[in-house]
Structure 1
Amino acid sequence: MTQPQTLTITRPDDWHLHLRDDAALAYTVPWSAAQFARAIVMPNLRPAVVSTAQALDYRMRILSSRPYGSVFEPLMTLYLTDSTPPAEIVRARASGVVHAVKLYPAGATTNSDSGVTDLERVYPVFEVMQAEGMPLLIHGEVTDSQVDVFDREAVFIERHLVRIRRDFPALKIVLEHVTTAQAVRYVRDQTALDARGTPLLAATITAHHLLYNRNAMFAGGMRPHYYCLPILKREQHRQALLEAATSGDARFFLGTDSAPHARVLKEAACGCAGCLTAPHALELYAHAFEQCGALHRLEGFASFYGADFYGLKRNDSRVTLLRGGSTVPERLPYVDGDIVPLDAGRTLDWRLERSGSLPG
């Protein structure tokens, strides 16, 4: 069979993205704007985005960092804490620009120190979110030091997510960056729909979890640029993610979890968790889908299912991927130094047709 030389799809959206703030926006916003029409922007800044007013201010900083002519739209989120007032959810929903609330278990990942310590403390917030139709985005890992780091997602589902779904059956939930066969099975077992007929539970999947298992972190030595949270898992879990992503199941959609950290912070004695994939995300996803013979299903996963879940209009514009060598830069400029993207130095099978210039 002749390999396709081009792939044109509806411009996709990124349903889980870290843009950071301040000087970093001059780099991160153009990277994502070149690939995506919209992105759900994570709120784990310092200080965290805990109010609608803060979300509006952050949105303006992002918009001011867009390249000339870009229509990239940041979809804002709030950071849930033990003390989030339920009334803030009403304000957020009324704003029209806050599209979800993010639950980080305290200490689970980068800048999550102010996260939730006890789920029952935020039950009043969940009640309002359920009534308002505000989605809850969950970093689904326990932080108990007695639980193996490779088991923390599965344990979170057993200990906490089952209870949340039972106590708030109409709450819309996205289990973010799923990494295990257990998470895939759990999402598939939940069949409840909202009034629009869309799933009440969905999951995002990253490109790096589709492409790599945990061996990537230890190939010939420590590989810090493959270290992320949730951590890469065994090959059996990667295969489960690939099957879910390429299945055409609308409960699974694209979320890069692109998480930039300067090279000096990654290549350190205690390196930061996160993989930078935003500058070449679509090329990575296309590679994963083609490996499974499922390029024809990339558009649904990347461009349709997330928009449908959030009740947003699908994008009108299109993007084209071209077959041919696209070499990932060894380093890219970033703030006061540089940054190493995932797969640095490797040649990918696809490249995004671009116009204009990007940082790096």
Structure 2
Amino acid sequence: MPLEKFDGLELPASADFHVHLRDGDMMKTVVPTIRQGGVNTVYVMPNLVPPLTSAHEALAYKARLREIDPSINYLMTLYLHESITPAVIKGAKAQGIIGVKSYPAGVTTNSSSGVLSYEPFYPVFTAMETSGMVLNLHGECPSDHTKNITILNAESNFLPTLKSLHAKFPKLKIVLEHCTTADAIAAVNACGPTVVGTITAHHLFLTVDDWADDPFSFCKPVAKWPSDRAALLTAAVTSKGKFFLGSDSAPHPVSSKKGGLGKTAAGVFTQPNVTSLVLDAFELAIERGLIREEDVTKELLEGFLGGYGRRFYGVRDGTGEGIVLRRGAAKIVEMVRGEGGVEVVPFRRGEGTWGVVWK
């Protein structure tokens, strides 16, 4: 069987460089699942309601997260908003905020306060470039039927913006989040070393056929064609640091995923099994002939699951914690239940998966 050689393999704890931990009862439900996924470092998204636009708000949120599990290293971000100024950036950097997340207005969950034009933020990007803060891009254009832009080509249509920002701010660290297309992989590879991309666990599995009839596989950006999935898998195992794990795990109450009278919420929940899912995806890809088994090495797993991201962000894991992989030793639950009646359906519910044990 593919990757059977990794049964019992010891690895450093994983680091997930794109997570949604929400707030309130959902936060209390989700945060305890971080370590279940073999992760001890998370890069936390700021798209709460209202969004986190100041260091004070981000640090208050971090304190709420630490009340639930203080063993996790929470890396905090701000939401790119008209209230963000160079002075805000300087102050946030001094208080330990790592980056700023840009959402195009209206494209995904809690993005109504997002960006309409990047030019007004050029002074902010200059300040970020100087201070070493990271710009995280949700790389999609809003749908515009007059320009033939829909959710299927929204990422590809955004890529000229990525290239323009990199050209104007070549020393600014930029992450193109949750890449879903071969076009995105090529664009990131064409940029200099200050530009990288994250890849989710679920996009290593999905194509458009999967989410078209399953709301629990529906996310933004949506999964695209089989050739795009193949490009993501290839990038994940061959990039040597240009791409790394950012799960974009995004929990929603089961009621909001079922649609009905309202829109189906965009987001796939992978947090409790994120390390295991990457192994599952690589195994399935090997069986399908999409990647080679010899490309999936211990060094690759250490890098993609955390080492590459830690290096890019300049984050050290000083805990010395590690995990042990156990092949076929776990099963993904049908439902994660929490306080206040919260119910969240995890990705690949009911499927067998790799076990992850803390050592």
* Same fold (TM > 0.5): yes
Contact 1:205 1:252 in 2 (8 A): yes
The equivalent position to 1:326 in structure 2, one of 317, 325, 330, is 330
Matched, 1:162 2:155: no
Match of 1:182 in 2: 183
Q: CA deviation at 1:157?
A: 0.6
Match of 1:37 in 2: 40
Match of 1:226 in 2: 217
Match of 1:263 in 2: 254
Match of 2:315 in 1: 312
What is the alpha-carbon distance in structure 2 between the residues aligned to residue 241 and residue 308 of structure 1? Answer: 21
Structure 2, unmatched stretches of 5+, are: none
Contact 2:163 2:187 in 1 (8 A): no
Number of paired residues? 339
Aligned residue runs from structure 1 range 92-103, under 5 A:
92-96=92-96, 98-103=97-102
Letter in 2 for 1:245: A
What is the alpha-carbon distance in structure 2 between the residues aligned to residue 313 and residue 337 of structure 1? Answer: 34
- CA shift digits 1:36-67 (9 cap, x unpaired): 1111000000010000000110000000011x
Contact 2:198 2:244 in 1 (8 A): yes
Matched, 1:123 2:92: no
The equivalent position to 1:203 in structure 2, one of 197, 205, 213, is 197
- CA shift digits 1:157-215 (9 cap, x unpaired): 12x11211111111110000000001101111123xxxxxxx30011100000111111
The equivalent position to 2:355 in structure 1, one of 344, 351, 357, is 351
The equivalent position to 1:65 in structure 2, one of 60, 65, 68, is 68
What is the alpha-carbon distance in structure 1 between the residues aligned to residue 136 and residue 52 of structure 2? Answer: 14
Structure 1 outlier segments of 4+, above 4 Å = none
What is the alpha-carbon distance in structure 1 between the residues aligned to residue 245 and residue 302 of structure 2? Answer: 10
Letter in 2 for 1:121: P
What is the alpha-carbon distance in structure 1 between the residues aligned to residue 297 and residue 19 of structure 2? Answer: 23
What is the alpha-carbon distance in structure 2 between the residues aligned to residue 314 and residue 250 of structure 1? Answer: 17
Aligned residue runs from structure 1 range 242-261, under 5 A:
242-261=233-252
Matched, 1:107 2:100: no
Letter in 2 for 1:162: K
Q: CA deviation at 1:352?
A: 1.1
What is the alpha-carbon distance in structure 2 between the residues aligned to residue 318 and residue 203 of structure 1? Answer: 25
Q: CA deviation at 1:82?
A: 2.5
Match of 1:23 in 2: 25
What is the alpha-carbon distance in structure 1 between the residues aligned to residue 164 and residue 140 of structure 2? Answer: 14
Match of 1:142 in 2: 141
Contact 2:143 2:151 in 1 (8 A): no
Moved more, 33-42 or 109-118: 33-42
Q: CA deviation at 1:248?
A: 4.4
What is the alpha-carbon distance in structure 1 between the residues aligned to residue 331 and residue 61 of structure 2? Answer: 33
What is the alpha-carbon distance in structure 1 between the residues aligned to residue 28 and residue 83 of structure 2? Answer: 32
Provide TM-score, normalisation by structure 1.
Answer: 0.91
Q: CA deviation at 1:243?
A: 0.2
Letter in 1 for 2:126: E
What is the alpha-carbon distance in structure 2 between the residues aligned to residue 295 and residue 332 of structure 1? Answer: 32
Structure 1, unmatched stretches of 5+, are: 192-198, 356-360
Contact 2:178 2:221 in 1 (8 A): yes
Q: CA deviation at 1:25?
A: 1.9
Letter in 1 for 2:280: H
Match of 1:358 in 2: none
SS in 1 for 2:337: strand
Aligned residue runs from structure 1 range 38-57, under 5 A:
38-57=41-60
Letter in 1 for 2:180: T
Match of 2:282 in 1: 289
Letter in 2 for 1:27: T
